[in-house]
Structure 1
Amino acid sequence: MSTDESRFEADPDELLPDLPGLPTGWTVDVPDPGDRFTLARLTHLLRAHERHGRGWAGSGVDDVLVEVSEAGLRTRQNVVVRDRTGEVQAWGSVHDRAGGRMLFVHIVSRELPEGLARTCSDVLVEWAVGQARTVGAARGLEVQQIDTGAFADDDRQHRWLEAGGFTKVRTWWQMKRPVTPDEAGLVPSTEFWESEKARFRTVRRGADGLPDVDDLREVHEVLESAFLDHFNSWEETFDEFESRLREDPGHRWDHWWLAEVTESGEPVPVGALIGTASESATGPDGSYVSYIGVLEEARGRGVAKGLLNTIIADAASRGRDRVTLEVDADSSTGADGLYVALGWKISYVTESWHRDVPVTDET
């Protein structure tokens, strides 16, 4: 199979021939990313899902387009459940994230009665299981993991995932730190600065404005190595890594940093941080730490603290009012201690739910 071809099944009828349990006249199809009414409805469903789960909505149409646009269809597939009037009442999205790991977005209208909403959930899960077998077979796997998430306070989602064969495996703290304008001076320069033990810089840019590929590969290699011993770490190729991050609506090349130490007179990458812009429709924008990793042999040298201070200073210099990040609440590494010491506090809590699907099991 060409790397430019999707590993997913594009026709939902192949995976859901009987539309189990749906009322007469309800249908399942693939959403059209060019249909503005469908995009608006998916955005509404996503925002309602967020408001119910954590009290406020942060996503917009750009976040929906990451999942459904034609640009992402090499690694993603989507399905929607429509009522007899054609209104979308449920939406599922799968992402072939890395070998063995498939992400699953699972959203059902909050306006439906419990029984009908549960039926829609079951349809989405059955479709996702079929997609897991399809993508797992294309990758030559015996078992394909489905990785989905839920807000910690969303009891409805928890019930449905458990009924769908998923198990809660991890808890995550979503943390926020306020940023003040004076913190722009927290480091000498967000593009390049040095401490006693390391130096920090953005990835190099060529005359055409594009980043240096060697630097991008260094970031990828540092993060792959730094996360080897972390929960649910799956090897991701450089092409998968770069393509996925570029799809993020908040992607900015000048939000990628490397930390280096000098060995035998040469700079050696030991840490990396990838940030994104978090836009707000009602106030100042923020920055988000998508990834931060430090090689094991370089830990304890202030590398992580230096990278975090750099993105704080960068956010302040751009007039942003916060930096947010996610931390593994179940990890024994103690990383949360550094975040708390630098001013981060828990904003809300999410969970990871997994189901392992035998690829050859057709029952």
Structure 2
Amino acid sequence: MIPEDSRFESDPDVVLEETLEESGLPKGWTVGTPDPSDRFDVARLTQLLRGHEREGRGWAASGVDDVMVEVSEHGLRMRENVVVRDGHGEIRAWGSVHDRAAGRMLFVHIVERGIPDKVSDACSDVLFEWAVGQAKAVGAARGLDVQQIDTGAFADDERQHRWLSGAGFERVRTWWQMTRPVTPDEADLTGDPDHWEKDGVTFRLVRRQGSGMPDEDDLRELHEVLEGAFVDHFNHYEETFEEFVHRLREDPGHRWDHWWLAELTDGPGPQPVGCLVGTVSESAQGPDGSYVAYLGVLEAARGRGVAKGLLRTIIADAAARGRDRVGLEVDADSPTGAAGLYTSMGWKTKYVTESWHRDVPVDPV
């Protein structure tokens, strides 16, 4: 279930306690929370996020909507934020934590580029100490002995690597961020991408009710397929149905008409065995793209062409919408051979990211 109140501690002073006095921040610099209703705060966080992306991989893609996912009142049911301000009140560093699932807390760590090393190191230390305090808070609220902090870095961001290593994080996984061009003629790749069949497998959109909302039974089927498909995958933590739907609806690219189910139909009745959750990748410079947020196939149905069929579906859908690409992320060390499937279907790696983890012991309540 989604909690009515956050499991995090909202006051940075409580989390950091005496750390601020020994932080090494310049005189007059302060630690607090951002104001999502202040357009200057939101603009500044967007600027910091885009600068972080530009330095780490060569270009920026995020915008205001991505920032609001982290800091809005709606987002704060499962998140908390902290910022470091200079003597003039300008935000120089930003941390965000997300209560992703029982045992797994995501952490965003961004420090402005270009400020002196001594100052940026001090900002980084404050963000890490705050994240550890929040890990203890959310872990205690969930009744855990250990809380994982899961954060990421671009593969070429040496400054971030140095900070993460120094703060006790371990690099645990590499991810290929892949993209595939889409051409207009691929709109006919599957027939109607909303509903088509091949070799005893039906691929269809999640049903919609008269109100336009998706059928809850379909959503629950999709959630169960994903949980079953990923149960043995790297760093999988089970999410409740409510957590799953809440989180995916927060994505700025969320669209209900980008969720597909695959069902075996050569038995006594339809059997859900695969699913794909897609999103929109908006672009200010050209056509939008589609993105594969989740692709899951139950082990018992592998070898039936389900994954390939779902990928063909989102390609055809993207082409029909006038989009020029489909992106996705794949575990570079995946034992399922997913990377080989993607490569064979035209995907190429655009850039590389990494997962870094730290396990934090939780103090008894």
1:14-42 alpha-carbon deviations (Å, 9 max, x no partner): 01234122111100111010000000000
Equivalent of residue 196 in structure 1, options 174, 193, 199: 199
What residue number does 1:64 align with? 67
1:313-324 matched pairs, under 5 angstroms: 313-324=316-327
Instruction: Specify the SS of the correspondent of 1:266.
Output: coil
1:361 to partner: Cα distance: 8.1
Residue in structure 2 matched with residue 38 of structure 1 by the alignment: 41
Mapped to 2, the partners of 1:41 and 1:89 lie a distance apart of: 9
**Structure 1 gap segments, 5+ residues each:** none
| Contact 2:200–2:266 (CA under 8 A) maintained in structure 1 | no
Give the structure 1 partner of residue 208 of structure 2: 205
1:233 aligned to 231, 236, 260, which one?
236
SS at match of 1:115: helix
Q: CA deviation at 1:3?
A: 2.1
User: What is the CA distance between 1:262 and its match in structure 2?
Assistant: 2.4
Give the direction of change, closer, same or farther, for the CA distance of 1:303–1:2 in structure 2 (3 Å limit). Answer: closer
1:2, 1:294 → 2: CA distance? 26
**In percent, how many aligned pairs have the same letter?**
72
Please list the CA deviations of residues 48-92 of structure 1 after superposition, one character each: whole Å capped at 9, or x if unmatched.
000001100000000000000000111000000000010100000
- Aligned-CA RMSD value: 1.2
> What code does the residue aligned with 1:288 have?
Y
Give, in whole Å, the separation in 1 of the partners of 2:92 and 2:212: 43
Rounded to whole Å, the distance in 1 between the matches of 2:179 and 2:333 is 18
Equivalent in the alignment of 1:12: 12
Q: Which amino acid aligns with 1:324?
A: G
> Where does residue 284 of structure 1 map in the other structure?
287
CA displacement at 1:294 relative to structure 2: 0.1
For residues 180-238 of structure 1, the C-alpha deviation after alignment (integer angstroms, 9 at most, x for no partner) is 01100000111100001301000000111110000001110000000001000001000
CA 1:107 to 1:361, structure 2 compared with 1: closer, same or farther past 3 Å? farther
Aligned equivalents of 2:225, 2:2: Cα separation in 1: 28
Q: Residue 116 of structure 1 aligns with which residue? A: 119
Q: What amino acid maps onto 2:59 in structure 1?
A: W
Whole-angstrom CA distance in 2 between matches of 1:2 and 1:241: 10
1:325 aligns with 2:328: yes
Distance in structure 1 (CA, Å) of the matches to 2:40 and 2:303: 52
For 1:346 and 1:361, the matched residues in 2 are separated by 44
> Could you tell me which residue of structure 2 aligns to residue 165 of structure 1?
168
Deviation at residue 263 of structure 1 after TM alignment: 5.6
Tell me the equivalent position of 1:149: 152
Matched with 2:360 is 357
Distance in 1 between residues matched to 2:139 and 2:64, nearest whole Å:
30
Amino acid at match of 2:328: L
For 1:87, give the aligned amino acid: E
Query: How many residues are treated as equivalent by the alignment?
Result: 362
TM-score under structure 2 normalisation? 0.98
Aligned partner (choices 252, 267, 274) of residue 249 of structure 1: 252
In 1: Cα distance, 2:159 partner to 2:3 partner: 38
Unaligned stretches of 5+ in structure 2? none
Cα distance in 1 for partners of 2:114, 2:79 equals 27
- Select which of 268, 271, 274 maps to 2:274: 271
